[in-house]
Amino acid sequence: MRAEAIIFDVDGTLAETEEIHRLAFNETFIRFGLDWYWNRPLYRELLDITGGKERIRAFVASRRPAEGTRALEQVAEMHAAKTEIYTQLVAEGAARLRPGVLRLISEAKDKGVRLAIATTTSLANVEALLQSAFGVPSSSIFEVIGAGDIVAAKKPAPDIYRHVLDELRMPTFACIAIEDSRNGLDSARAAGLPTLVTPSVYTSHQSFPGALAVVPDLDTPPVSLETIARWRAADAGW
């Protein structure tokens, strides 16, 4: 049985955006007068925490940096500034879709498969990426976009996927999720969704037990609606 809907994660799945997020965080720290710098190894650790505001709070709690108390009082303002920086970078062309993403989305649209997004990143970040990548409003491609703080519990909790499924009014067995991280996989599976994983630069070290399949990207091998259907049929666990 083919998937009647595909639900995509965004950061690391549609595009390799995490490095842009890291740069935006560091620029935000400068703007707020904080002597903080998140290098790549540190940011890889922090990505175990989903959500930008949550990531800042986790950094303060674990590392106890200078000015941590002040930063906690300004988390909302800092995150808003970071979003502004990120969306500007994306608008300037800093992010590109990962291999195979455009092809699979085009195939799905041509064959009437419904498309949705389930992400912990903000709606502004999603819209900036999709506008830059597709040149059209996100609503013209994705029927439902679940993003940011629309649910209280973020991935690996299943809430965002359950929200999207409710909006689509579709059962889990008719859908498939595409993720890049262990948190995303656990979130989708907890919602009952078969999940394809395409690890990103920042999640390639993770393991993905329970995934329908794990492939380097959607072009390796070429992932189509037909191959997804074959994987679903072969996976007795689902």
Q: How far apart are the first and last CA of the chain?
A: 12
Establish whether 217 is a catalytic residue. no
| Active-site option among 9, 159, 180, 217 | 9
111: exposed, middle or buried (C-beta count within 10 Å: 0-12, 13-18, 19+)?
Answer: exposed
In this structure, the strands spanning 213-214 and 195-197 are: parallel
Alpha helices in 92-122 (DSSP H): 101-110
- Return phi, psi of residue 11, to 5°: -65, 120
Establish whether 11 is a catalytic residue. yes
Q: Could you give the CA distance from residue 142 to residue 145 in angstroms, rounded to a whole number? A: 7
Closest CA to 148 of 138, 133, 163, 137: 163
Q: Which stretch of DSSP H or E encloses residue 195?
A: strand 195-197
User: How far from 64 is each of 36, 44, 67, 88, CA to CA, in Å?
Assistant: 11, 18, 9, 30
Q: Which stretch of DSSP H or E encloses residue 53?
A: helix 52-63
Instruction: Give the residue numbers marked as catalytic.
Output: 9, 11
